[in-house]
Amino acid sequence: MKAASNLQKMLDSGHFAVSGELGPPKSADISTLKHHAHDMRNHVDAYNITDNQTAIVRTSSIGVAATLMQMGLEPTVQMTVRDRNRIALQSDLLGAVSFGVRNFLCLQGDHAKFGNEPGSKNVNDLDSMQWIQAVKNMRDEGVFIGGEKLEHPLPDLFIGAVANPFADPFEYRPYRLAKKIAAGTQFVQTQCIFDLDRFERWMVKVRELGLHKKVHIVGGVTPIKSIGAARYMQNNVSGMIVPEELITRIKGAQDKKQEGIRIAVETIQRLREIEGVAGVHVMAIAWEEVVPEIVERAGLYPRPSLA
Amino acid sequence: MIVGERKPLAEIAAMLKPYEKVCILGCGTCVTVCLSGGEKEAAETAAALSLLWQKEGKKGEVKTGTVLRQCEYEYIADYAARLEEFDAVLSLACGVGVQAMTARLPENIVLPGLNTQFMGYPVMQGVWKENCLGCGDCVLDLTMGICPITRCSKSMLNGPCGGSQDGKCEVSKEVDCAWHLIYDRLVKMDMLERMEAVQPPKDWSTSHHGSVRTMVREDVRVEGSQ
Ligand code: SF4
Ligand code: SF4
């Protein structure tokens, strides 16, 4: 099958992929985001654009994707099921495909309680699993969820999902991944990996089930910018594990930011050694400028160029 | 049962400001059991309101009463004559009761004294939990008697989201993750394969999303009856 995107090409051909992440602003002025995108363009294969992350109103993922396309860069549009019913989700997907988006990351989304509109309705018409399957059915069968046919077939799409080895029940997590694959997932990005031991234990089971051969597993890596940021993730973000040793290590370092970068680089290097890990997704939100350095120091630069 | 919570006295007082002769009307069923709108609570509310009016120097009269079920016309009919003398009725029934009263007694002003919360039951003395959203297409057979529509904060049908940790839901340490509970029960019963198949999108048209629902049973229907 022909690859739908550069990201898929990279992963399908067995290159260790690198993607970046862009968080749209709480305004329509996306000039800073464009700078970040421009500055890491030689270091990442595609960019995730978050969809009202942590339920905070921001410029839409699809709106930003249009700009990225104009810049000649490759977006991966995140789509949560939190804010849109199946009518809006399917319609927005078509809209994004119409101007060239091919990578989609289907996810549930944080509860609206955490955001800046805590009084809003949580839609959750579909769940993430059903949304993945719906995208696959639109692409492969040419049908909407309701059963009606699309007027024209869709081009190839690259369907992504998320996996969280740090959430519970831990024993179930590999099976949840298997279910996402059955629903149509072609690549998964994981929650930020700080607890490598737990990640490796998850991967053991993933390999045992043969899942790494059925899906591209991309490890999530976030450089820790400060002790405060680490503590915040440790205490306030559900489904995230930040081991105390990591915080102690940064505390003990003279240059704390450098230490954060060093840990990210080491994490990537360890991930590269793990059988079944196909790439990394670097999420340096509010610290985008360090992405090129991390990618270079991890030995992933220059990026292979695939025709 | 339907679980409600009495509105704050200040809000009740503001609602009743234009009225002088008021009846606080308890309901004898669900809200009696959940200790929010029965005879006892009607008496407490009336006493508190009278005291407040006294303090404010407002002249007025507050009486109480209880209807066994404010959501059924026949019980309302039995009581109707006694309500004629009042300027307003503050109903301590759930929203269903308030509306049935309004429909049956269109000449009366019936006001809500409760915030109706949910369908649920007491899990221990003094703690009520929400369990059912009345979705119109029950899936409890698939989910081991634990409702994911109601008890999963994201109404997911295909297993736990990435925010589930230590058995708790991402929204609060006070809320159990429904899918963790379902998983544990499936493991215990050796039925985990039930979580394997992808459950298709739910047809929400059987729920309130499909618009206002009416149930008709032709076999028991009596034309013209109320
Ligand atoms: S599945 Fe529907 S009917 Fe059954 S308990 Fe849940 S909300 Fe109620
Ligand atoms: S943590 Fe559990 S209950 Fe809460 S939204 Fe996620 S799956 Fe649902």
| Confidence tier at B120 by pLDDT (50, 70, 90) | very high
For residue B224, pLDDT beyond 90: no
Residue B46 Cβ < 6 Å to ligand 2: no
What does the block give as tokens for A145? 């969820």
- Mean pLDDT of the region B62-76: 97
**Nearest one of B146, B128, B196, B133 to A124, comparing CA atoms:** B133
Residue A238's pLDDT is: 86
Put residue B55 in one of left, alpha, beta given phi > 0 → left and psi -120 to 50 → alpha: alpha
Residue A295's pLDDT is: 98
- pLDDT digit string (tens) for A152-170? 999 999 999 999 999 999 9
* Residues listed for chain B: 226
Measured CA to CA in angstroms, residue A101 lies from A4, A49, A66, A73, B160 at distances of 9, 12, 8, 10, 29
The SS3 call for residue A49 is: strand
Residue B160 Cβ < 6 Å to ligand 2: yes
Number of domains in chain A: 1
- Mean pLDDT of the region A264-270: 98
Q: How far is A148 from chain B (nearest CA, A)?
A: 15
Question: Hey, are the CB atoms on B165 and A133 less than 8 Å from each other?
Answer: no
What average pLDDT does the structure give for chain A? 97
Asked whether residue A115 is assigned to any structural domain, the reply reads yes
> Closest to A239 (Cβ–Cβ): which among B153, B170, B200?
B170
Query: Residue B87 is which amino acid?
Result: D
> Closest to A176 (Cβ–Cβ): which among B159, B167, B168?
B159
- Mean pLDDT of the region B116-134: 96
| Confidence tier at B39 by pLDDT (50, 70, 90) | very high
Q: Which ligand 2 atom is the nearest neighbour of the CA of B153?
A: 5
Ligand 1 pocket mutation, candidates B150, B151, B199, B207, criterion most atoms within 8 A of CB? B150
Residue nearest to atom 1 of ligand 1 (CA): B138
Residue B225's pLDDT is: 66
Asked whether residue A250 is assigned to any structural domain, the reply reads no
Q: How far is A85 from chain B (nearest CA, A)?
A: 11
Q: Show which of residues 176-195 on chain A sit within 8 Å of chain B, judged by CB atoms.
A: 176, 179, 182-183, 191
Question: Hey, are the CB atoms on A238 and B165 less than 8 Å from each other?
Answer: yes
Residue B36's pLDDT is: 97
| Confidence tier at A65 by pLDDT (50, 70, 90) | very high
Predicted TM-score (pTM) of this structure: 0.96
Asked whether residue A150 is assigned to any structural domain, the reply reads yes
Residue A306's pLDDT is: 82
Asked whether residue A242 is assigned to any structural domain, the reply reads no
- Cα–Cα distance measured from residue A215 to residue A203, given in angstroms and rounded to the nearest whole number: 13
- Mean pLDDT of the region A259-275: 98
Asked whether residue A88 is assigned to any structural domain, the reply reads yes
Q: What proportion of chain B, given as a percentage, has pLDDT over 90?
A: 97
For residue B200, pLDDT beyond 80: yes
- pLDDT digit string (tens) for A69-99? 999 999 999 999 999 999 999 999 999 999 9
In the reported structure, the alpha carbon of residue B145 is separated from the centroid of ligand 1 by a whole-number distance in angstroms of 10
- Taking CA–CA distances from B197, the nearest residue in chain A reads A179
Residue A190's pLDDT is: 98
- Cα–Cα distance measured from residue B66 to residue B80, given in angstroms and rounded to the nearest whole number: 11
Residue nearest to atom 5 of ligand 1 (CA): B132
- Mean pLDDT of the region B150-165: 98
DSSP B205: G
For chain B, the domains span 2-118, 133-197
Residue B226's pLDDT is: 59
What does the block give as tokens for B202? 């739910």
Domain B2-118 sits in CATH at: 3.40.50.2300
For residue A307, pLDDT beyond 70: no
- Within an 8 Å CB–CB cutoff, is residue B156 touching chain A? yes
Asked whether residue A256 is assigned to any structural domain, the reply reads no
- Mean pLDDT of the region B169-192: 97
Mutate to test the interface with A, among B143, B150, B164 (most CBs of A within 10 A): B164
Asked whether residue A46 is assigned to any structural domain, the reply reads yes
> Closest to A167 (Cβ–Cβ): which among B163, B196, B204?
B163
Q: How far is A187 from chain B (nearest CA, A)?
A: 17
Domain span holding position A168: 6-223+272-287
In the reported structure, the alpha carbon of residue B156 is separated from the centroid of ligand 2 by a whole-number distance in angstroms of 8
- pLDDT digit string (tens) for A131-148? 999 999 999 999 999 999
- For chain A, the maximum distance between any two Cα atoms, rounded to a whole number of angstroms, is 62
Residue B177 Cβ < 6 Å to ligand 2: yes
Q: Which residues contact A59 (CB under 8 A, 6 or more apart)?
A: A24, A25, A27, A28, A30
> Closest to B201 (Cβ–Cβ): which among A126, A167, A176?
A126
| Confidence tier at B142 by pLDDT (50, 70, 90) | very high
For residue B67, pLDDT beyond 90: yes
Q: Which residues contact A205 (CB under 8 A, 6 or more apart)?
A: A174
Residue B197's pLDDT is: 96
Provide the β-strand partners of residue A75.
A47
For residue A262, pLDDT beyond 70: yes
Question: Hey, are the CB atoms on B164 and A169 less than 8 Å from each other?
Answer: yes
What average pLDDT does the structure give for chain B? 96
